[in-house]
Amino acid sequence: MYFTDMQHPEKANTSGRHESAGRVSVKTAAEQDAMRLAGRLTAEVLDMIGPHVVPGVSTDELDRICHDYIVNVQKAVPAPLDYRGFPKSICTSVNHVVCHGIPGDRRLKQGDIVNVDVTVIKDGFHGDSSRMFCVGRVPPHVQRLVEVTYEAMWRGIRTERAGSQLGDIGSAIQAFVEANHYSVVREYCGHGIGRGFHEDPQVVHYGTAGTGMSFVPGMTFTIEPMVNAGRREVRLLPDGWTVVTRDHTLSAQWEHTILVTESGFEVLTLGADERPPA
């Protein structure tokens, strides 16, 4: 989940000059364990809410269920609630909504797709993840968009290891998405995460391999590509939060929180039944 000043969405840096490693938080062993816990709780919320994403449910009901679970069961805090004035505990982005959809009285219908974006704070640390859910059966072309976006996220994740560079993530994602004749949203991006909801660096989902800062073990950040079926351009609705595709085509997004390790990477928000693509 990436929040900017929504009246002036922050444009990602395309020059290859990204944040230096000196500004990026490197977590201690104890902090990494705290991030693992926050990540596991975030994944559990998404595991829990999946069976509730059915035709007829309102996005406000999904928000209430997640809020109650985070607060009453996990004894944790839903990070989006009141963050910069955001009014709900999760984001629900339906069909052509790219990100930051505000839960409300809209009821999901057969064939919809919805991204549920959850961020949990536990013991002062954040876990952040989102998943696409298909409401009942969806047409093959819609399923393909969802699957290509998921694969794109994993292609970005698998570039990660100590010494790899920030541009490697975006390059891998962009090449795969565009080879499948979709487009990558550029105004919103992944981010460092830890005690802060949004830390350095910005993690863009397009760009050039071999550019940007190098990763070191202990860094934690999100990878969360937003992929449009049509053109990449987006617009912000008057509510100041909801971002939609400018051409009204469908959009999909997946997100995980990643820890850079000595041997590669660790996904901190992996679902209980999640099986990454081969």
Inter-residue contact 133 to 111 (CB < 8 Å):
no
- Residue-wise pLDDT for 195-251, tens only, equals 999 999 999 999 999 999 999 999 999 999 999 999 999 999 999 999 999 999 999
Q: Is the pLDDT of residue 7 over 60?
A: no
Question: Is position 273 within any domain?
Answer: no
- Which pLDDT value is given to residue 23? 82
Question: Is position 272 within any domain?
Answer: no
Question: Is position 12 within any domain?
Answer: no
* CA torsion, ordered 98, 99, 105, 111, to nearest 10 deg: 40
CB atoms within 10 A of CB 57: 18
* Torsion sign over Cα 89, 118, 176, 200: positive
Q: Provide the residue range defining the domain that includes 232.
A: 21-267
User: What is the pTM for the complete model shown?
Assistant: 0.93
Total domain count for the chain? 1
Q: What is the CATH number of the domain that holds 103?
A: 3.90.230.10
Inter-residue contact 218 to 33 (CB < 8 Å):
no
The pLDDT mean for the chain works out to: 93
DSSP bridge partners of 129: 118
**Residues 3, 191: Cα–Cα separation, whole Å:** 10
Question: Is position 200 within any domain?
Answer: yes
Secondary structure in 3-state letters for 180-209 = CCCEECCCCCEEECCCCCCEEEEECCCCCC
Question: Is position 274 within any domain?
Answer: no
**Residues 235, 99: Cα–Cα separation, whole Å:** 11
The arithmetic mean of pLDDT across residues 54-65, rounded, is: 98
Question: Is position 8 within any domain?
Answer: no
What one-character-per-residue DSSP string does 143-179 give? Answer: HHHHHHHHHHHHHHHTT-STT-BHHHHHHHHHHHHHH
- Which pLDDT value is given to residue 48? 98
Question: Is position 14 within any domain?
Answer: no
Question: Is position 32 within any domain?
Answer: yes
- Residue-wise pLDDT for 159-206, tens only, equals 999 999 999 999 999 999 999 999 999 999 999 999 999 999 999 999
- Residue-wise pLDDT for 20-56, tens only, equals 445 899 999 999 999 999 999 999 999 999 999 999 9
**Residues 38, 234: Cα–Cα separation, whole Å:** 31
Q: Is the pLDDT of residue 70 over 70?
A: yes
- Which residue is associated with the tokens 């004749």? 181
Inter-residue contact 258 to 221 (CB < 8 Å):
yes
- Which pLDDT value is given to residue 3? 54
